[in-house]
Structure 1
C-alpha cells in the first residue's frame, strides 16, 4: 500500500473513531428514562390540578431576545450562551438558556393575554456553557411555570403554596423556602446608586468579580460567597430602606397568605436574582441534600419583561426547577420501581405462531393493554426470562398446540400462580379479570 493510500481518510481499512457525546450534554438511558417518565407524569398531574396548560417554544431563538430580556451584563449573556450565526441568512441565534424570555416573546407574538390571563408551563432542555458539575450541565432540563396577566400578591403566594404541595407529594424533606422583595425599578435604582457609592468607599476589599460588577450589576455583589467580603457586604445599604408603600404592601400580602396556608419561610434580604427583569416577590426553595448546588427552584415576579420585549405592560410571575436535581432528590426519597409500566409480554414459538402472535398483540393493545411482542427468536426459556425482566404483569404464551386449539396460555409474572389457558376470542377480558379479580380459566 502506498503512503498516499495509508493517509487517505476514506480508506475503509481504518477503524472508525468512536464518537462521544458533547461534554456536559448527557444521554438518558432506558432505565433512567423510566424515572424521567414517572417524574414528568407526577409534575403534569400536579400542574393540571392548578389549572396550568402546556406551552412549547423553540429551542433556538434570536440572540437579541436574551440580550434584551435577560440583560447584557448578566453572566448568562456575557459568558454562558451557546450563540451562533445562521450560515444561510446571517441571523444571530442562540440555544435557549432559560424559558421565560421565550414565553414572553410568544405571549407578545400571539397576543396570549388579550382575552384572559394565562397559566402555562414548559418542560424541556436548556443550554448554558459553564463548567459541568453535579446537577448542573451544559444541556440540562427545566420545568418552567408562568402566570401571565395576574396582579396582586395572591398569585405569588399560590405559586409558592403549590410548590410546597409538590414537595409533599414527592416525599421530599428538609426543603426550605427563602423569600425577599426587590421592589420596583425606581426603588432598585435608588438602592443601586447607594450600593455603588458604598462599595466605592470599600473598593480595596472587593475581589476581582465584585470589581467587575461594581458599575454594571452591583446587586450581585450582595450574593458573594467570598468570606473576606462578608462583613462589609452585610453592612451595605438594604433594599428595604428604599421600598415604597405599594411594594411593602404587596410583600406583606404574600407573607400573610403564606402564613394562612401554613407554609414556613425565611426572609432573606440578600436574596436577589441574576436576571434584570425581576421585581417585587422573589423566592428560592433550597435543600442541603445536594451539597453546594442546593437551590432546586427559583422564581419571582417580572412585571416589566413583556413591555421590555415590545409588548403591552403585563404583570407576570413564574419559577423554574432544574429537573436533574429534582430527579436526584425524587429517587432518594421515593425509590420508584425501575420496571416499565407494562401489562403483557407475548411469548411465541413455532413456524405458524409468529403471525398470530403479531395480530394477538394488536388485539390486546386495542383493549387498552400495554404489550411487548417478543422479537428476535429464542426458545421458550430464554423468552420467559425476557418476559420476567420486562416488568410485565403477565406473559401470554402461544405455541403450536395453543394455535391449533385457538387458545393462549397465560402466566402471572408477579407473585405465584399456575399457568392458565384462555380462549383467544376472550383473551383480553380474561386477562383483565385475572389482574383485577374476575375471569374464568378454560
Structure 2
C-alpha cells in the first residue's frame, strides 16, 4: 500500500528550526543535573550521597518563615507590585549592603530579581551587545558562560589552577583583553573553588578594569561564608571610582538558607538599573511578594543564624579537605570561602579502576556515581577537565560517609 500522507504545514515552517539556535545551544545546568540524578537514584532506593547542589542543608530561619506566613494573609501581597521590587526590600538591600560591605547605595540603585541566577542573566543582557567579550576567570560557575551567550556576548576564559590557589592575576586578565572586551565577571568567594581574593588583589583587578574602561559584574552571594579570618572585599569599595561601571549581584539564597525562595538582586548605576528594570517588567514582572517580605525580614535581622551555619560549614570544610588529601592522586587547596572543595584529580586519570580507565573528570565522576554511589560535579561543568566539585553543605554524617566511599574506591586505582 502506498502512503499518501503529506505534511500539511507550509514548506517554510518545516524548514525552520523547532528550537532557536540561541536556546538550542545552551547546556543544562550541570549542578542541577547532578542533583536531580542523585535524587532520582535515591527515589529508587539507592543510598546515593549527593555532593552536587550548592544548597545549605539548614532550614530557613524561623522568623523569616513567620514573616512569610503573615505576608501570605495580607491581600496587598496578592497583587502586582513594582517590577523593581518592594520599596521596603530595596531599602533593606541598600542598608544591608552598607552594613556588610561598606558600599553606599540608594534604593533606586537596586533591582530585586527572581534569585541570583536571574540577576546574572539580567546583568549581561543589560550590558552586552552582540560580539562584546566578557572575561570569565576560570573555573567559573556553570551558569556564567551560558548567560553571556544568551545575551549575545562572547565568554573569554582565563584559567587559574590549583597551583595559583584558583586566583586569577592581573597579568592573565591583561593578556585576555582585546578591543572587544566589555565586561569582567568577578566572583569572590568563588563558586566552584571556594577561593577568596585578598584585598590587595581585588583592588589591583579593580584598578585594571577602571584603567581600561571595562565594566565589572561582581557576584557577592557568598560574602558571609568565609573562614580562617579571611574577609571578602567588595570591588567597588576597594576601588570607589569603579562604582559607575560596576554591577553588584547578591541574594538571600546561600546566606540565609533560602535557595527555594528565589530572591536576588542587582545593584549599580541608576541608569543601568532602570534599563534592567525595564527588561524585568517584560520578563517576569515582580518577584513573588511573599518571598520579598521574607527577604525583608532576613536582611533586617541580625546575623546570628548565619554565624551558626558558617560554624558548621567550617567544620565540614576541614573534614572534607583532610579526607580528600589522603587519597593518592588528589590535590586539594583549602577553600577559604563558600561551601565547596575543588580537588584536582589529574593524578587519577588514566589509571585503571574496577575495569575502567577514566581519562576525564567527567568519566571519573560517572565511575564514582555507579561504583561508590556518590554524586559529584566534574570539572568540565566549570572549565577544564581534571577537577571535581564537592559541596560540603550537607550533614556531617553523610559527608564523612560519602568522602569515605570516595577514599575506598579511589584507593583501588592502579
Higher strand content, 1 or 2? 1
Q: TM bucket by the smaller chain?
A: under 0.3
Q: TM-score, normalized by length of structure 1?
A: 0.21
- From the CA coordinates, give the structure whose radius of gyration is larger: 1
Q: TM-score, normalized by length of structure 2?
A: 0.22
